[in-house]
Structure 1
Amino acid sequence: MTTSPFPEIPSCSWQRPIGLGWDKPYTVRYVSNIDDGPWHGMPLGGFGAGCIGRSSRGDFNLWHIDGGEHLFKSFPSCQFSVFESTGSSSKAYALSTEIPEDGTLQSWQWYPPSTTTQATGTYHALYPRSWFVYENVLQTQLTCEQFSPIWANNYQETSYPVAVFVWKAHNPTNAPITLSIMLTWENIVGWFTNALKSPDLQIRDDGSPVYEYQPRLGESKGNYNHIVENTEFFGCFLGRVPTGLPIQEGDGSWCIATPKNPRMEVFYHTHFNPVGSGADLWESFSTDGYLPNYLNATPADADTRLGAALAVRCTLQPGETLEIPFTLAWDFPVTEFAEGINYYRRYTDFFSRYGDNAFAITSRGLEQYQVWRAQIQNWQKPILDREDLPEWFKMALFNELYDLTSGGTLWSAASEIDPIGQFAVLECLDYRWYESLDVRLYGSFALLILFPELEKSVIRAFARAIPHSDDHLRVIGYYYTIGAETKKAIRKVAKATPHDLGAPNEWVWEKTNYTCYQDCNLWKDLSSDFVLQVYRDFLFTGSHDVQFLVDCWDAIVQTLDYLKTFDLDGDGIPENSGAPDQTFDDWLLNGVSAYCGGLWLAALESAIAIADILTNHRGTENTEKTDKLRSQKSIYQSWLQQSRPIYEQKLWNGQYYRLDSESGSDVVMADQLCGQFYTRLLGLPDIVPSNHAHSALQTVYEACFVKFYDGKFGAANGVLPDGSPENPKATHPLEVWTGINFGLAAFLVQMGMKNEAMQLTQAVVEQIYDNGLQFRTPEAITPVGTFRASTYLRPMAIWAIYMMFI
């Protein structure tokens, strides 16, 4: 309880009227891709702990409790409700504008949605905090702030499976108001694990490998609810009768809790029917804001589902403001990949691993929420206070971090080899494999800046994977999509850099190269991507963790040697094969390419710099190793000396760099100089003349952005100099890739074109946040209002733009 004013909501937060829909939201480009619709809100929950989402309608509808799996569905009984009495009249609402479609809870009164002429409130979001401000319905001025304890360089609380809801109520009238806030929650213990323990892998129409996820929704046998309390806090614990077996995925508990306070009355009900009429709660709550204090801990049978409810009632005197916190926590310690491959989650390093800690976690939240909120504010304040950054940019900068929570995120418990655990985020929900290296070349800037130790843990996982092989043959999906003869390839070639760290149905971090859309062993960017990220992470984490370079060096040598084997004509630069063999994996490149060739040159420069650091570090301690380093450096210097003029000779056309050396294409590729961007970022010598870089970048800006639909959507990946398509039926060249655009904008800032960078970035941000793509930012959008690959990793490249302003 407090007399402080309403929480100050940052002016740059994303805003949406509560319950107001979209006239023409973006829709999915391919019917096989996930399209949950626009009702996405900011996720709640710690990294790798599982998360939930509450939309601007007020419903809880996103459930990423099972690591790496996705469920988008409203459970109506998981809900906040409010009762208000002014003495002469009273009203009660469940605070969602979404009336259950299945006819359940028909006794409940649902909050009225906003219209285009009358708002019933506003939803605000600035990750990791969001707010509901209720207006024009109640006499009470009511706000709910919700967040989880996430802030930069925090490797403990950021992992917690907890959500804090801080209600602030102000009485602006001259008479007392009785107010009651109720949190109801269904006991969904046991629901979030795949009932298909060995799901069959299939190739869908877009060539991507998929498997069926079948959660155990509604399977509540053995679930029970009971009251938990101590001297400070009161809660409802939602558990399941133990089986006597070791804890498995899906085993655990939920808890809802609130503080005890003499000004507040707390009521409860531990056994209501969440799929009935709801009258067992609503009759008492809507009459006088109370619950019957019904206690029944009898476990559910096979045909029963259980809900628990907690209500807090108080009286607001005229002019008074009260704060009423609730916390929600869940404790599901185990993530299972393939059957029997189990990992404990990071938060279990701070709580036990028995799945019964939900009340302890909620209690921690109630004890610490004010400290947590202050930590978040202190982290964000220096950025929010910057007058040189526009409000829309600050909004997108923080909100794009949502993916670190809801991107199927994994964060394992600590081990001797990984002292803060292992970390991974999905490429996206449609391409459900982890930390795709070509994508994270752009999208990992957020992790690098904010959680550098997690960033290095990911790169170490790639370094460990590079020497390994996997001879299992797989069908390559790309040929399926173009109607060509089926081709197969082995999964992982030794010394090739893997594309990804695996998928949640197998063994993440151990079985890599899950994707089979292309044969990633043939890709010409992955090896370079790895080397660049190693050196980048070393530099931007203080340039002192030489052991990190030592851990990665052998892998660097192996993978650069492997990539060099694709230099078939001996000119020093590995050639693209005429198949889509790089991150634009629907786009054929042939011969020396601007994209992959530039990354190769930048990687060689990085490897040379790393060799110098390791040589200086070892000094004369080990002459044999020092001599090997010097010999390896000499090899890279000779490759670089040979290949740099070839790159210029084969690709420079006097205005920009050609797509490649053999296709004859005149297309202007937006990301043609990614390698040059990285060399400048890393303080290395330019790989192309500075005036050529400026000319190429200006051409990209004009052709791919300004002349492509008048700059409304962002920069297309590749068009002719007049902005028209080379092939109107092309896919990747004519898409606007959100993360590539942010990477391009960072390059523009780096080259002194700040105004152009911000115009480009704003166009993309507006498309995302004005058209129902918030908190599910896709890889690609098109000018006809479609998108592909939602909840994508690469858009966190917006933090690369911010890095240019630091």
Structure 2
Amino acid sequence: MGCEEFPEEYGLGEAKSGVPLGGLGTGYITLGSDGAFQEIVTMGNPRSPILRPERSFLAIFTSSAECKVAKVLENPAPLGLPAVKYLKYSGLFPFANIRYIDDELPVDLRLTAFSPFVPGDSKHSGLPVALFKLVARSKVSEPLTVAVLFSWEGSSLGSKVFEEEGVKGVTLEVEQGNYTIASTIEKGIEVEVSPPWTKSDVKLFWDDFAEDGKFAEFKGSLGEDIARALVLRFTITPFEEKDTVFALSWFFPDLRDSEGKFIGRMYANWFNDSKEVAVYALRKFRNLYEQTSALHRGVKAFKLPEWLEDALLNSLYSLAKNTLWIKDGKFAHSESFTGCPITETIVCRFNGSLPILLFFPELELKVIRHFAFLQREDGAIPFAFGKPEFFDKPYYETQKSLDSSEFVLMVYRDYLFTGDEKFLEDLYPHVKKAIRYAQSLDTDGDYLVNEVSMQYYDQWRFYGTSAYVAGIWLTALRAAEEMAKIIGDEKFSAECRAWFDKGRENYERKLWNGTYYRLYNEPETGKISEVCLCNQLMGQLYAYLLGLGDMFPREHIVSTLQAIFRLNVRATKFGAVSGVRPDGTPEPGPHSETVIFGEVMNYAATCLYVGLRDEGLEAARKAYENIIYYQKSPWNIHFSYDRETGKPVWGSNYYSNMCVWHLLPAWLRVDIGKLREYIRNTFH
């Protein structure tokens, strides 16, 4: 499974989303399964993408002794132009692959498009560029002239052709920035830039290209937004194959937060305009292609089921769609720019941030340090940096029952993976304050955090002590105990152990029903729920990830996972229903009766850790197969899906869904420390 070996192909227009082309925090461009550039999100416009710009497209011209053919490589084609008949589309992030199928063309055409994603190299994974390789193979027994055209839409602000360092292209100025299309100058390939053209010039433009794959010096209409095209022209002998390489780069440094305050782009520290980006990326094309392909080879080396390889890689699309990397170096991931725009909700990163730690640990530590910076004086950890796009507007009450515990667990996780002692020394006082704050949320003296706020299921109210929140709290106490030992804080370490022992005893007494853990129990009011929650052992999953062992009796853990399989997994064809009653019927409610994609993945990972491999893999496979086969949307995974139809219910492009990466250490049966060695040996 290299970058050109794809497990699933979609027909023309079948996929409901396309692979996003873009780097960390750069914005992105979506190449869709109809061959079109469907969304342009490069200008700080995630909720108002430019849709299908008509003069931004790829096209092909061929000429033989018999005939000439010219077609746009998408269907339907814009502006009434002739379209390629059919195509097959596939993708494994960050690669998109298209096979164009047209019996009128005397060549077979294959396009590979990607943006660099280099594990361990955040700069080269943060380039505002999409790179393309189009392979043309002759199907006929006579020489052919072939011209590949790449047109891009600009504005009335002008454009400039350039040639430098073996690269030729054109930069198009638009409001607040610019785009560049360019190619390397190779022997045997003519590189030409068209004159500016407007919508009024479309017939003149196309007829000129379709005549000989070249452009005469026509004059475009005045006073209109222009486009320009890059043309790569070459000849191929019978049955010969030839590659062409080109780039699209962008530069929009004036990024603002939601109040209009300048925050900028990280990439503006490295480049001055899109031309510099294109030249840089094209000169490094072979290395960037090889290093990005290594991501796929690395995943393949783990010998996972093919669907799981696919799920791991494609889940990373969120890093292109949902990230911010601003000029002062701060990094953040939105819960979902399109579905729930909040900057770095701690509950989503608790689920979905593992890949950031594995591949870009320096960015992960920046995020955790910023959470510590925003910690309230009383120890409360913020729920998020701000809403929608802020780094300095934290708020604290939304899920305060969870926030501090999740922060503590991620600090310990990140320390174990990086071995960064300075990080632990700096963060330890914040960990201690977070534990102190969480202790204050024990309102009934049972040493367990109570349901004083909403939690992960923010439309599903729990009461008293819940398996989900209290389980995460118990694991946080164990993590804090271990960190205190490392620091040498014996008193606090002993206190955490005492709280853990007493809390676990009460957890078992209040919640264990003989088969699994109750959803919640509040003896003071008599509120109790026997609903079986798919994600009730989330704290236990983190305990395994952190090498802390069993939080609860092993027989209870296994019994719970088996009960979830019998009740929750069997209640749907699409993974597992979130909340199910003892009689097997789903609990009514917007969260409880749905399939929550990330929850299913966490359940599956916990199963793998305790040896219930068949149960875990079945649930996870069904959830992912719904995405790729039925919803046909692996590059827009929603938060939740209907248990009966499999259709999306809520939350497009969700950050937390990268929790599928919890399945990797669970498959290997290793903790985060041992996973570090696998990652370093495999990807770096």
TM tier, smaller: over 0.9
Q: 1:574 aligns with which of 426, 440, 449?
A: 449
1:290 maps to amino acid: K
Say if 1:68 and 1:504, in contact at 8 Å, map to a contact too. no
Structure 1 partner of 2:384: 500
Q: Distance in 2 between matches of 1:182 and 1:66?
A: 25
Are 2:144 and 1:177 aligned? yes
Q: Deviations over 1:518-564 (max 9, x none)?
A: x41x63111111111110111122xx212112222222222222222
Q: Deviations over 1:467-487 (max 9, x none)?
A: 26xxxxxxxxxxxxxxxxxxx
Structure 2 partner of 1:411: 325
Say if 2:545 and 2:665, in contact at 8 Å, map to a contact too. no
Q: CA deviation at 1:413?
A: 3.3
Q: Distance in 1 between matches of 2:8 and 2:121?
A: 25
Say if 1:499 and 1:513, in contact at 8 Å, map to a contact too. yes
Say if 2:3 and 2:296, in contact at 8 Å, map to a contact too. no
Q: Distance in 2 between matches of 1:687 and 1:374?
A: 43
Q: Distance in 2 between matches of 1:745 and 1:63?
A: 36
Secondary structure of residue in 2 paired with 1:716: coil
Q: Deviations over 1:595-619 (max 9, x none)?
A: 111111111111111111112xxxx
Secondary structure of residue in 2 paired with 1:427: strand
1:154-193 to structure 2, matched below 5 A, reads 154-187=121-154
Secondary structure of residue in 2 paired with 1:237: strand
Q: 2:279 aligns with which of 354, 358, 363?
A: 363
Q: 1:393 aligns with which of 274, 286, 308?
A: 308
Q: 1:132 aligns with which of 98, 101, 107?
A: 98
Say if 2:451 and 2:463, in contact at 8 Å, map to a contact too. yes
Q: CA deviation at 1:791?
A: 0.3
Q: CA deviation at 1:344?
A: 2.9
Q: Distance in 2 between matches of 1:260 and 1:657?
A: 65
Q: Distance in 2 between matches of 1:264 and 1:390?
A: 42
Q: CA deviation at 1:436?
A: 1.2
Q: CA deviation at 1:13?
A: 3.9
Structure 1 partner of 2:626: 767
Say if 2:90 and 2:97, in contact at 8 Å, map to a contact too. yes
Structure 2 partner of 1:531: 408
Say if 2:61 and 2:210, in contact at 8 Å, map to a contact too. yes
Q: CA deviation at 1:644?
A: 1.4
Q: CA deviation at 1:339?
A: 4.4
Structure 1 partner of 2:495: 635
Structure 1 partner of 2:83: 110
Say if 2:579 and 2:593, in contact at 8 Å, map to a contact too. yes
Please identify, of 590-599 and 60-69, the stretch whose mean Cα deviation from structure 2 is larger: 60-69
Q: 1:647 aligns with which of 493, 496, 507?
A: 507
1:56 maps to amino acid: S
TM-score by length of 1: 0.79
Secondary structure of residue in 1 paired with 2:428: helix
2:615 maps to amino acid: E
Question: In the superposition, relative to structure 1, how do residues 396 and 293 fare at CA in structure 2: closer, same or farther (>3 Å)?
Answer: farther
Structure 2 partner of 1:601: 474
Q: 1:79 aligns with which of 57, 62, 76?
A: 57
Q: CA deviation at 1:640?
A: 1.8
Q: Distance in 1 between matches of 2:257 and 2:318?
A: 20
Are 2:209 and 1:288 aligned? no
Say if 1:67 and 1:410, in contact at 8 Å, map to a contact too. no
Secondary structure of residue in 1 paired with 2:10: strand
Are 2:159 and 1:235 aligned? no
Please identify, of 255-264 and 177-186, the stretch whose mean Cα deviation from structure 2 is larger: 255-264
Question: In the superposition, relative to structure 1, how do residues 501 and 653 fare at CA in structure 2: closer, same or farther (>3 Å)?
Answer: same
Secondary structure of residue in 1 paired with 2:459: coil
Q: Distance in 1 between matches of 2:320 and 2:7?
A: 18
Are 2:330 and 1:426 aligned? no
1:450-599 to structure 2, matched below 5 A, reads 450-467=359-376, 494-505=378-389, 508-513=390-395, 519-520=397-398, 523-541=400-418, 544-577=419-452, 581-599=454-472
Secondary structure of residue in 1 paired with 2:433: helix
Say if 2:151 and 2:229, in contact at 8 Å, map to a contact too. yes
* Count of residue pairs brought into register by the alignment: 658
Structure 2 partner of 1:692: 556
Q: Distance in 2 between matches of 1:109 and 1:536?
A: 55
Could you list the runs of 5+ residues in structure 2 that have no partner in the other structure? Answer: 669-684
Secondary structure of residue in 2 paired with 1:376: helix
**Between the two proteins, what is the percent identity of the paired residues?**
30
Say if 1:427 and 1:792, in contact at 8 Å, map to a contact too. yes
Say if 1:68 and 1:410, in contact at 8 Å, map to a contact too. no
1:426 maps to amino acid: S
Say if 1:467 and 1:555, in contact at 8 Å, map to a contact too. no
Say if 1:467 and 1:558, in contact at 8 Å, map to a contact too. no
Q: Distance in 2 between matches of 1:805 and 1:41?
A: 29
1:325-344 to structure 2, matched below 5 A, reads 325-344=245-264
Could you list the runs of 5+ residues in structure 1 that have no partner in the other structure? Answer: 1-6, 22-37, 113-119, 188-219, 241-249, 415-420, 469-493, 616-628
Say if 2:73 and 2:100, in contact at 8 Å, map to a contact too. no
Q: Distance in 1 between matches of 2:153 and 2:516?
A: 59
Secondary structure of residue in 1 paired with 2:145: strand
Q: CA deviation at 1:697?
A: 0.8
Are 2:659 and 1:797 aligned? yes
1:310 maps to amino acid: L
Q: Deviations over 1:382-425 (max 9, x none)?
A: 32244x41212111210110000011x111235xxxxxx22111
Q: Distance in 1 between matches of 2:235 and 2:2?
A: 24
TM-score by length of 2: 0.92
Q: CA deviation at 1:584?
A: 0.5
Q: Deviations over 1:703-754 (max 9, x none)?
A: 1002x03xx1111111013421233xx1101111111111111111111112
Q: Distance in 1 between matches of 2:449 and 2:321?
A: 37
Say if 1:345 and 1:413, in contact at 8 Å, map to a contact too. yes
Q: CA deviation at 1:343?
A: 2.0
Q: Distance in 1 between matches of 2:654 and 2:3?
A: 27
1:18-417 to structure 2, matched below 5 A, reads 19-21=12-14, 39-67=16-44, 69-72=46-49, 73-100=51-78, 105-106=79-80, 108-112=81-85, 120-137=86-103, 138-187=105-154, 220-221=155-156, 223-230=157-164, 232-239=166-173, 251-273=176-198, 275-276=199-200, 278-293=202-217, 301=223, 304-352=224-272, 357-386=273-302, 388-407=303-322, 409-414=323-328
Say if 1:396 and 1:765, in contact at 8 Å, map to a contact too. yes
Higher RCO (Cα < 8 Å, 6 or more apart)? 1
Q: Deviations over 1:141-197 (max 9, x none)?
A: 11111111112111211111011111111113211111111010011xxxxxxxxxx
Secondary structure of residue in 2 paired with 1:636: helix
Q: Distance in 2 between matches of 1:456 and 1:501?
A: 15
Say if 1:68 and 1:432, in contact at 8 Å, map to a contact too. no
Say if 1:226 and 1:295, in contact at 8 Å, map to a contact too. no
Q: Deviations over 1:54-112 (max 9, x none)?
A: 10101111222133623341112111011112221121111111344xxxx23x21222
Structure 2 partner of 1:613: 486
Say if 2:184 and 2:283, in contact at 8 Å, map to a contact too. no
Backbone CA RMSD of aligned residues: 2.1
